[in-house]
Amino acid sequence: MTCKEFKYLLRADLFRHRGRSGLGEFLKGFFSAFQVRYCFFFRLCAFLRGRRIALPAYLVARVVFQHCIYKYGIEIAPRTQIGPGLFIGHFGGILVSNAAKIGRNCNLSHEVTIGLSSRGERVGVPTIGDNVYIGPGAKIFGAITIGNNVAIGANAVVTHDVPDNAVVAGVPAKVISMNGSQGYILHTDYD
């Protein structure tokens, strides 16, 4: 990741949370919103990871990020591939596998798990498209693909592929409409 990409990711995440970007907005968000702090340290650790010259800075950032993981109950490893515009809606209980791939403008609600399936026909981790809303308590497991503009309902258990623009709900999750995530994904015009 380049410095320019790092700045872009920070700006996109901030814009998704605050509706604005800029240094003043970042400072306000950093000191008043745990989501902005968490996203900052997540992106900073991802940026510094693997850079030998930045090892001391990475170690300090990693310690602070580890504190954020425990304090906020959100565990997303710095090596997890997440596109710009990450939005964390609520405090706590979020767990994302470090091998998962998540696209642009993803909304993560509390008690969401995006994890590994270690047996069966879908061994692996999910790939999640752009503009995906994941409702509170949703669980997504296995080598599945979640399309673009998808809304996953509260407490849904998703273990199969989901097409673009679908709304899924239930245990196991089933497509209940094709209205997508429109209305759930806000502040995406940061480009």
Catalytic site positions? 110
| R_g over Cα of the chain | 16
Which DSSP letter does residue 124 get?
B
Give first-to-last CA distance, the chain, whole Å. Answer: 18
DSSP codes joined into one string, 1-68 = --HHHHHHHHHHHHHHHHS--SHHHHHHHHHH-HHHHHHHHHHHHHHHTT-GGGHHHHHHHHHHHHHH
